[in-house]
Amino acid sequence: MSKFLKLIKNNKGATAIEYGLIAALIAVAAIGAMQGIGNKLGTTFNNVSSKLG
């Protein structure tokens, strides 16, 4: 029974999971931001290309 109580009190696994979730949320936000910037950059290059051609 004491091993079970120690397992319940152990927070290391929960902390690792929380850090993993935070990293995943940051990655999703970064991907979304990069896609938006990529689309705008693509439009800019297309405009420049059409004016040069």
> Which DSSP symbol is given to 13?
H
Q: Which residue has the higher pLDDT, 10 or 2?
A: 2
pLDDT band, residue 2 (cuts 50/70/90): confident
> Which DSSP symbol is given to 17?
H
The predicted structure's pLDDT at residue 10: 63
Per-residue pLDDT tens for 5-52? Answer: 666 666 666 778 888 999 999 999 999 999 989 999 999 999 999 999
Q: Which amino acid is at 22?
A: I
Residue corresponding to tokens 């120690």 = 6
The predicted structure's pLDDT at residue 35: 92
Q: For 10, left (φ over 0), alpha (ψ -120 to 50), or beta?
A: beta
> Which DSSP symbol is given to 53?
-
> Which DSSP symbol is given to 25?
H
